[in-house]
Amino acid sequence: MAAAAAAAAAAHDSGGDSELEDQSNQEPAFDAFMCPLTKQVMHDPVTIETGQTFEREAILKWFRECRDSGRKPTCPLTQTELRTTDMSPSIALRNVIDEWRARNQDKELEKACATLSQQQPHSEDDDAMRALVYISQTCHRSGASKNLVRRQGIIPAIAGMLKSGSRRVRLKSLEVLGVVVEDNDENKVGGLPESAYPRKKKEESITVVDSAMQMQEELGKGDTIRTIIKFLSNDHVQERELAVSLLYELSKLDPICQRIGAVYGAILLLVGMGSSKSENLAAVEKAENTLKNLEKYETNVKQMAENGRLQPLLTKLIEGTPQVQVAMAEYLGELALANDIKAVVAEQVGALLVSIMKTGSLPAREATLKALREISSNESSAKILLQAGILPPLVTDLLSVGAGHLPMRLKEVSAAILANLVASGADFRSIPLDAESGETLLSEDVVHSLLHLISNTGPAIECKLLNVLVGLTGSPATVADVVSAIRSSGATISLIQFVEAAHREIRVESLKLLRNVSPYMGAELADALGGSAGHLGSLLRVVSDDRSGVTEEQAAAAGLLGDLPERDWNLTRQLQELGAFRALASKLVELRRGTIRGNRHVARFTEGAVKVLYRVTCALQEEAEAEVEVARELGLAPLFVELLQQQMSGGLDAVLLYSAMALENLSLQSRVLTAVPEPPQAARGGLLVMCACFGGGQQQPPPQAPGTCRVHGGFCSLRETFCLAEVGCKAVERLVACLEHADARVVEAALAALSTLVGDGVANATEGVLVVGEAEGLRPVVDVLVENRTEALQRRAVWAVERILRVEDIAQEVAADQTVASALVEAYRNGDARTRQTAERALRHLDRIPNFSTAFHHAKGNPPPAKDRP
C-alpha cells in the first residue's frame, strides 16, 4: 500500500495531469522521497534539528503556523520543541530524487516519442495530441527538462507531425516545436564574466550548447525547415502565426539561419508577411525580427534585395569592409530595381559608389560601374548621380587610353552609364568636366573624342556611344553643338556608314542620330545617302522587309527618309527609281487593313512613311506626268483620306498634318486633270449676271453635263484626278473634322485643302462652298476665324470665309452673327495688307462696308478688283 501511494504521489508530482502517463511505467518512489507533510515526492528536501527531512516550503509553512498560534516551533513528527529553526539542504537526497525523476521522465518521453513515431497521417489524433501535450508540459517545467527533451531525440517525431492530416495536430506540433527551441533565461550565459558562474552552472551551460547543436542537426535533416516555411503561405491564420514564431526562434541558431535562407521562396514569404497590413501585429513583428536574424549572411541579404527588401544590402554597402562593399555592389548590379527604388538607392549610396569608382581597385570599380549602370537608368536617380559628381570621372575613364586605364569591357559599361545620364535630360552645359578648362560634354573636343571612339571600338561601345549622341541631339538646347562638331570633324560619312552595320542595334541608333540631325544638315545627309555607296538602297531594303511586323529599325529608317528635304527633286527621283513610294504605300495599306501586326513602332513608322509619300505630292506639276501616274497607281489620295480618319482617333498629329497637306497638293491638280466636256453651242460663253454684293458682274458658269463633277465641271474621281468632292469619298467630311483639332498646324492644313474647292481655279466655286456646307463644314470654318489662334491661321480663315460669303444666301445668314463681323473687323484692323483687303471684301458681303469701289470702277469702265487667294 505504501509503495502504491508513493507511486501515485510520484505520478502526480511528475505531471499527473497528463493522460499519457501510466503508473505501470513509473519506477516506484522510495518512502524517503516523500515529504511527511505533503505526502508527495520532495523537490527541495531539507533537514531540521531533530534529523527529520521535509519539503522546504512545507516545513517553513509549519514554522509560520506555530508562531502564528503562539507556540514554539516543534518537529511535526516528534512534536519535540526546537531550539532553532535552521534547516540544512539534503543535497544527496535531492540528487537521488532528481535522478529518479529523470528516469521516469525519460520513460515517459520515450513513450511519447514512440506514440508520435507510430502515428499514421490519417489515423486518430487523440494519442498524438496527448503525447504532444505531455512534451509541452515537460518543457515548461524547467530548462533542464527542456534540454532533456532536446537530447531525447524526440524532435524529429514532433516535426513529423507537421504533415499530419489533422489541423489541430499540426497546430500543436508547431506550438511544441516553438517551446522546445525557445531559449530560457536560465540558459543564457553570454555577456557576463566567467567568474559570475559557478562550476556547475558552467557545466550546465555547456550541456545547453550541446543540446542546441543536437537540435540544429535534427531540424536540419530532411525537409523540416521547408515544411515549416510552407505554413507561411497557408490560408489558416493560426498556422501562419505559429510557423513564423517558430522560424523566429530557429533563426537565432546560425546553421538553421542559413538553411532558412536556402529554402526557395522563404525570404519572399517572410518579406511579404513583414510588410503585410492584414497580419496580426505580433506575427508581423516576428517576421521582421526573423529577417533581421537572417541578415547576418550575405546570400540572404541578396535574396532580400531581390524581393524588395533593399535596406540590409545598402547598410552593408555603407558600413561593410571593402570586401563586403564589393560583394554588395556586385549584388546591386545584378538586381532589376523599380524606378522609385533606383532614386532611393542613388540618394543613399550614390556618392559612395562614385567615390569607389574614382579610387577603388579594378574589381571594386567593375562592381561599382555595374551597379551604377542599373541605378542610372532612371531620370531622377541619374540626376542625383550627376549631383554626386559622376560625370567627370566617368568621361575621363571612357576617353582615356593606354596602360592603367579601364579595359574595353568596362568602357562598355561606362558608355551605358553615360547614355543613361544623357537620357535624363539634365543641362550638360552647366556640368563642367574640368574646372580649369571649363570643358563640358558638349564641347567640340569632347564630341570629337566621342566620334573618334565610335569609329575605333567594338560594336557594344559603338552602340552605347551612338545612344549618347542620340540623347544629346534629341534636345533642341544641345543638338546644334553636336551638329557643329559632326561637321567640323567630317564624321557625316562615317555615321551614315553605320546604317549598314552588321549589328541591328548599331543600325537603329545610327538612324535615330541621323534623323535627329536631319533638320540641321538635311541637304548634306541627302547628298551622302544618295551617293554611289548605295546607302539609300540599304535603307529601302530595311523599310521593305515584310518578314515580320514593323520593327524599330524600320520605324527609324522611315523616320529618317521622311525628315529629308521634301523638295530635293533628285532625291525624290532616286526614291521613285528604287521603289520607295510603292513599298511604303503598300505597307501603310497593310497596316490599315490589319494584315501586319501592330506594335509600339507602328506610330513612328507611319509618321515617317506619310512624310515620304508627301514628297510625291510636292513634285506634282502640270508637266510632272511621272509623279501623277505614281499618285494614281498607288492610290495616294484615297490613302491620305483614310489616314485622316484613322489618325483622328490615333493621336498622330504629324500624320494628320502631312495627310492634309498632301491632299491640298493633290486637289490643286484636279483642275488640270479633270476632263471637261464641251458645253452646248448655245450656252457657250454663259450669261453676265450683275450682283452688287459681289462687286460687279459675274459670269454664270455653263450648264453642268450629266455625270460630271459639280465643282470641277468634268469627269473626275478621288483616285484618278484627286477630286475631294467625289460623292462618297468622305474626303471633305474628314478634313472638316480636322478643323476642330487642337494643333493649329493641322487646322491650317485642313483648311488649305478645303480651300482648293472654293478657289478661282475650280469651274464652280459656289458649288464648292455648297459641298463644304453639305459636310457640315461652314460653321467650323467660321469658328476658326473667330478663334483667331495664330496669324497664319487667321489669314487662311479670312480668305476662306470671304469665299463662302460670296454665296448671297449664306452671307445673309452669317450677317446676323456679330462674332463673325467682329473677327473680320479685327483682321481688317490688324492683319497684313493682303489680309486687310480680303477682310474688306468679306465685310462688304455682309454690308458692313459700302460698296463704293464697285461704283467707282463702273464709272471708269474698269473691271472689279481681282480676288486672288493669299
At 126 the pLDDT is 82
What distance in Å separates the CA atoms of residue 522 and residue 514, rounded to the nearest whole number? Answer: 9
Q: List the Cα angle 593/595/598 in 5-degree steps.
A: 90
- Asked if 759 contacts 772 with a C-beta cutoff of 8 angstroms, the reply is no
More confident residue, 12 or 405: 405
For helices 266-274 and 254-262, angle between their N-to-C axes, nearest 10 degrees: 100
| Mean pLDDT along residues 850-868 | 52
Q: Percentage of the chain with pLDDT > 70? A: 85
pLDDT of residue 92: 92
- Three-state secondary structure readout of 608-642: HHHHHHHHHHHCCCCCCHHHHHHHHHHCHHHHHHH
pLDDT of 122 strictly over 60: no
Answer whether residue 275 shows pLDDT above 60: yes
List, for residues 675-726, the tens digit of each pLDDT value.
Answer: 888 766 554 444 333 333 333 334 455 566 677 899 999 999 999 999 999 9
C-alpha cell read off for 847? 454690308
Dist CA 539 CA 545 (whole Å): 10
**Does 375 score more than 90 pLDDT?**
yes
pLDDT at position 575 over 60: yes
CA dist 164 and 162 (Å) reads 6
pLDDT the model gives residue 28:
85
CATH 1.25.10 range(s) for the chain read 646-675+688-860
Neighbour count for residue 60 (Cβ, 10 Å): 14
Task: Give ranges for CATH 3.30.40.10 in the chain.
Answer: 2-93
For residue 10, which amino acid is it?
A
Which of 126-135, 193-202, 428-437, 573-582 is predicted with the least confidence, judged by mean pLDDT? Answer: 193-202
Inter-CA distances, 72 with 60, 81, 278, Å = 14, 7, 65
The per-residue pLDDT for 4 is 37
Is-contact 734 644, C-beta < 8 A? yes
Q: What percent of the chain has pLDDT over 90?
A: 53
CA dist 515 and 376 (Å) reads: 26
Instruction: Give the residues across from 691 on adjacent strands.
Output: 696
- pLDDT (0 to 100) of residue 744: 93
Q: Between helices 167-181 and 143-151, what is the axis angle to 10°?
A: 110
pLDDT digits (tens, 9 = 90+) for 346-370: 999 999 999 999 998 999 999 999 9
Give the pLDDT band (50/70/90) at residue 16.
Answer: very low
Q: What is the pLDDT of residue 381?
A: 95
Q: What is the mean pLDDT of residues 11-32?
A: 57
In which band, very low, low, confident or very high, does the pLDDT at 868 lie, cut at 50, 70 and 90?
very low
Determine how many CB atoms are found less than 10 A away from the CB of residue 91: 9
How far from 805 is each of 596, 811, 844, CA to CA, in Å? 47, 5, 9
Q: How distant, in Å, are the alpha carbons of 150, 202, 211, 758 from that of 255? A: 17, 23, 14, 90
Mean pLDDT, residues 10-39: 65
With cut-offs at 50, 70 and 90, classify the pLDDT of residue 235: confident
Higher pLDDT, 300 or 211: 300
Grid cell for residue 235:
490560408
Specify which of 97-106, 370-379, 492-501, 847-856 reaches the highest per-range mean pLDDT.
Answer: 370-379
Q: Which of 326-335, 387-396, 672-681, 722-731 has the lowest mean pLDDT?
A: 672-681
pLDDT of residue 633: 94
pLDDT of the residue at 191: 38
Give the Cα separation of 169 and 160 in Å (integer): 11
Q: pLDDT at position 689, please?
A: 39
Residue 138 sits at φ, ψ, to 5 deg, of -65, -45
Per-residue burial over 195-208, b = 16 or more CB atoms within 10 Å of its CB, e = otherwise: eeeeeeeeebbebb
Tens-digit pLDDT profile for residues 68-120: 998 999 999 999 999 999 999 999 999 998 888 878 777 877 787 777 777 66
Nearest to 785 by CA among 770, 771, 802, 768: 802
Q: Which of 544, 559, 753, 540 is nearest to 637 (CA)?
A: 753
Give residue 19's pLDDT band: very low, low, confident or very high (50, 70, 90): very low
pLDDT for 624: 74
Q: For 120-198, where are the alpha helices, taking DSSP H only?
A: 126-141, 143-151, 155-160, 167-181
Comparing C-alpha atoms, which of 747, 743, 672 is closest to residue 714? 672
Can you give the pTM of this predicted structure?
A: 0.72
* Cβ neighbours for 363, distance < 8 A, ≥ 6 positions apart: 326
Q: What pLDDT is recorded for position 357?
A: 92
Q: Per residue in 734-758, pLDDT tens?
A: 999 999 999 999 999 999 999 999 9
Q: Which phi and psi angles does 703 have, rounded to 5°?
A: -60, 145
Mean pLDDT of 629-635: 94
- Residue 300 CA to residue 488 CA, distance in Å, equals 55
Instruction: Inform me whether the pLDDT recorded for 187 exceeds 60.
Output: no
Answer whether residue 604 shows pLDDT above 80.
yes
Residue reference for cell 534539528: 49
Helices (H) and strands (E) in the chain, counts: 44, 5
Cα–Cα dist 736/772, whole Å: 8
pLDDT attached to residue 483? 95
Taking each helix axis from N to C end, the angle separating 625-634 and 636-650, rounded to the nearest 10 degrees, works out to 60
Under CATH, domain 2-93 is a member of which superfamily? Zinc/RING finger domain, C3HC4 (zinc finger) (3.30.40.10)
Among 130-144, 515-529, 606-620, 802-816, name the one with the lowest average pLDDT: 130-144
Q: Which residues pair with 38 in a beta bridge?
A: none
Relative to beta strand 88-89, strand 53-55 is unpaired
Q: In which band, very low, low, confident or very high, does the pLDDT at 314 lie, cut at 50, 70 and 90?
A: very high
Under CATH, which architecture does the 646-675+688-860 domain have? Alpha Horseshoe (1.25)
Cβ distance 351 to 390 under 8 Å?
no
Distance from chain centroid for Cα 459? 28
Half-sphere exposure of 386 (CA within 13 A, CB side): 25
